[in-house]
Homo-oligomer: A and B are copies of this chain.
Amino acid sequence: MNLKEKIREIPDWPEKGVNFKDITPLLQDKEAFVYAVDKMAEPYIKSKPDLIVGIDARGFILSAAIAYKLNTGLALIRKKGKLPFKTLSEDYSLEYAVNTIEMHEDSISPGQKVLIVDDVLATGGTMEATLKIIERCGGYIVGVSFLIELGFLGGRKKLGDYSVNSLLTYEK
C-alpha cells in the first residue's frame, strides 16, 4: 500500500518554509490506518516489549493502537503541566525556546522493555529528551518507531545507537 498517497502536504504550516506532513487522511482511511499500525508493530512482535511509550499528542494515536496490537500497556510523555502525579522532566531546546516534557515517575518499572512510538521524527529534540527520561526510569529501550522520518532534518543523529525504525522517509 502506498501510504504516502494518504499524507497531505500543507505548505508554510505551522510557519513559512515548512512543508507540513498532515497524517489525518491516513488516519481516517481504515485500510491505511490498520496497515500502518500493523507494519509499525511488525518488527516488535518477536522481541515483544513490555510497554509502549507514546508522546503527546498525535503520538498517542499510533502508540495506543500499537500497544493494543502487541498486548502491552501504554505510558505517556506529556508537555509540562499536563500530568497530575509526581513526574520526571527533561528540557530540550528549540530554535528560540526551551520546551519541557514530563513522565510520571512510576510509569516504568526498572528493566521493563520499552518501545517508543511517535508520528514524526523531525529534528529529534523531543525524542532525545524522551530517551533520557526513560533511561532515568531504568527502562530498557528496545526500539524507537516513527510513522514518518524527515530525513533531511537529520534527527536520527540525535538518537545515538538506539534501534530506529521509520515506515516512511522523506528526503525533502
Q: Which residues of A contact B (CB under 8 A)?
A: 8, 10, 13-14, 20, 22, 24-25, 27-30, 32-34, 37, 50-51, 54, 56-58, 60-62, 64-65, 67-69, 71-76, 78, 82-85, 104, 106-107
Contacts and interface: CB of A to CB of B under 8 A. Distances in A.
Contact of A68 (B8, B25, B65): B65
A24 B57 contact: no
A contact patch SS: mixed
A73 B30 contact: yes
A51 B28 contact: yes
Contacts of A84: 10, 13-14, 20, 22
B71 A104 contact: no
A32 to B, nearest CB: 8
- The copy count of this chain in the complex is 2
A104 B24 contact: yes
Contact of A34 (B62, B68, B83): B68
Given A24-B107, A28-B75, A61-B76, 14 more contacts: A10-B85, A24-B76, A24-B85, A28-B73, A33-B68, A33-B74, A37-B68, A56-B57, A57-B78, A60-B61, A60-B64, A65-B67, A68-B68, A68-B69
A78 B56 CA distance: 13
Contact of A64 (B8, B13, B62, B76): B62
Given A14-B84, A67-B33, A73-B33, A58 B60 contact: yes
Nearest to A54: B61
A13 B78 CA distance: 16
A117 B141 CA distance: 31
